[in-house]
Chain A
């Protein structure tokens, strides 16, 4: 099972490596990890997607809390939170199929952010399912390169503090 954790940490040197090191040392798998500063510049927020059952989740949460630089760990359950991911997809294209690709992008409310003679880059934002879907539709044209940011998530409603 996939869990999304919001981890508030001190915005300090070495914190990412403490968190990543804990995961690798204890044999937990990180599906994706994103980091960025919050509205408080001394605090960063990590969104970590981790695979495992409830026992793994419990241990991961406790081990994260043991790190001195970790301020709070929240399990973002999917029904109580919203999440998004951004992907940039560079796909083969020429005059013959350019409009077809643009239509697909349109359907997904994705944007074309670069056009070259033999390729274009599409920017798409959404949840995991949406990104996988557009990826599959674009695959027949030939995906030259693709990058995903990893998931970011927030709990719905009031601030989770």
Chain B
């Protein structure tokens, strides 16, 4: 295929490449070495969202990617701009989210000179990117960008960084965009081995206590429909990890909830008693498995994953299938027959009845239990996109929101990044303006990136931040209560800020609920306002996330932590 070439600068070529990749939105912050690129962005047909801190650009691009499945794009300048992206890049890497990150760099002639605002960002991000590039010739730029989008979005997705020395952006090139990528060292396997699929099918047929354990891979390969069909066909209950949440409807009778540290008891019991564990796009994270030696120790394990390096990394696998979750589940559906699970499903129904997720309402007074807020958000807006920060509120959101479709739960799973949720919710809302988007936040987490209220207001992005204000860094406080004799070292943050006034200072809507019966009206008012909103929910201070498996314990060694009045 030939395409006529055209002379243009590297900066112009960058924009042309983004058009060809179908990029409609980028999140960024300008700086000295980016001037030629920002001059092109000025009249490009791409929406640029100006954040107030580069970390937010990376999180917002990730939120955009998670809400749509498209590759998120962000850009920051050299030196501190680039290093401020690092947390966001690491977050996307841990949760396997497709992202292309552009960073400005000092001119090639100054590289390695400790020049003003120079940082070796390709070196810094090597362990937290799927791949990265330092562009050394503008003629290479289109090929590099083509490869970057390909690498970011295929196989096990992840962030790819492109570092752009300033001289590259002003260099004139003959623009030509390749239509194919050929990387001899990168050929992800999509189609699993059929023999292995058949082995998995016969293991299913023989099993009496099967459990499907599905992770974020189900979301990224768009395999939710196949997952539901398989569970129904083989009659196996399904537990989804934190990042897999939304991949299986919460209200489906075969749903077990989340496994692991703050998982439902019946999910953990089911895994421990299973004779066949079918892992799909999940990576046996320590927060799921607890004590590895005691994890599902009687189960045969089938592991479907597109990344061969995940197979038998933590848990020895009996039937490994390297392949795309959607493709593999489709094939498995063809060969699989029902398991012999009638009695098993009865046992699980019994566990669900005896050990439901629950919390204790305040006996007297009208205090707000945090779990109650999640229930009220579910009732008010069941098809909302729920984004979270990291901590107790995140676990309550995962436990109590009734997700019914994929890409509606956006949370920092692997890295556990406080400050992630608000910028990610801005990205999600820009991607899905038709959806109501909530950022479920703690008073600690929200303060890590609350400056993005300026972005939300300026760009008119009506996300709703629900601050679960308990005056503590709650999850750490919970561990201090349990394991450090209630010595609340550096976790009390009471009265740090008036969140209503903070919202108003930025021109956003600020609401407050201090009583139980104010919760629902505040939620309704926020949704109806169509404005960026912060709701300050003043909740019970020392509520704990329950149940809980202490770190290092087996997942059936579960603590009940409901706070009785």
Contact = CB atoms under 8 A, between A and B. Distances in A.
Interface of A: 9-10, 13-14, 17-18, 21-22, 25, 55, 58-59, 62-63, 65-72
A66 B183 CA distance: 12
30 contacts: A10-B185, A13-B134, A13-B136, A14-B126, A17-B123, A17-B126, A18-B126, A21-B126, A21-B127, A22-B127, A25-B127, A55-B312, A58-B312, A62-B308, A62-B309, A62-B311, A63-B309, A65-B308, A66-B307, A66-B309, A67-B185, A68-B130, A68-B183, A68-B186, A69-B131, A69-B185, A70-B185, A71-B184, A71-B185, A72-B185
Contacts of A58: 312
Contacts of A9: 185
B134 A14 contact: yes
The interface residues of chain A, by DSSP majority, are classed as: helix
B313 interface: yes
Contacts of B312: 55, 58
A72 to B, nearest CB: 8
Contacts of A71: 184-185
B330 interface: no
A51 to B, nearest CB: 19
B309 A14 contact: no
Contacts of A22: 127
Q: How large is the interface on B (under 10, 10 to 19, 20 to 34, 35 or more residues)?
A: 10 to 19
Interface in B109-143: 122-123, 126-127, 130-131, 134, 136
A59 B313 contact: yes
B49 interface: no
A147 B134 CA distance: 34
Contacts of A69: 131, 185
Complex A-B, nearest 3 residue pairs according to Cβ-Cβ distance, in ascending order: A62-B309, A68-B131, A71-B185
A72 B122 CA distance: 23
Contacts of B311: 62
Contacts of B270: none
A59 B309 contact: yes
A91 B313 CA distance: 47
Contacts of B527: none
Contacts of A72: 185
A32 to B, nearest CB: 22
A141 to B, nearest CB: 44
Contacts of A66: 307, 309
B151 interface: yes
Given A13-B136, A18-B126, 20 more contacts: A9-B185, A13-B134, A14-B126, A14-B134, A17-B123, A17-B126, A22-B127, A55-B312, A62-B308, A62-B309, A62-B311, A63-B309, A65-B309, A67-B185, A68-B130, A68-B131, A68-B186, A69-B131, A69-B185, A70-B185
B151 A68 contact: yes
A127 B316 CA distance: 35
Nearest to A18: B126
A71 B182 CA distance: 12
A81 to B, nearest CB: 22
Contacts of B313: 59
Contacts of A65: 308-309
Contacts of B130: 68
Interface string B51-70: 00000000000000000000
Nearest to B155: A66
A10 B307 CA distance: 21
Contacts of B183: 68
A91 B131 CA distance: 46
B102 to A, nearest CB: 18
Contacts of A17: 123, 126
A13 B130 CA distance: 16
A50 B311 CA distance: 21
Interface in B261-318: 307-309, 311-313
Contacts of A18: 126
A104 to B, nearest CB: 45
A63 B185 CA distance: 13
A21 B308 CA distance: 20
B207 to A, nearest CB: 26
B308 A14 contact: no
Contacts of B186: 68
Nearest to B158: A66
Nearest to B307: A66
B127 to A, nearest CB: 5
A62 B311 CA distance: 10
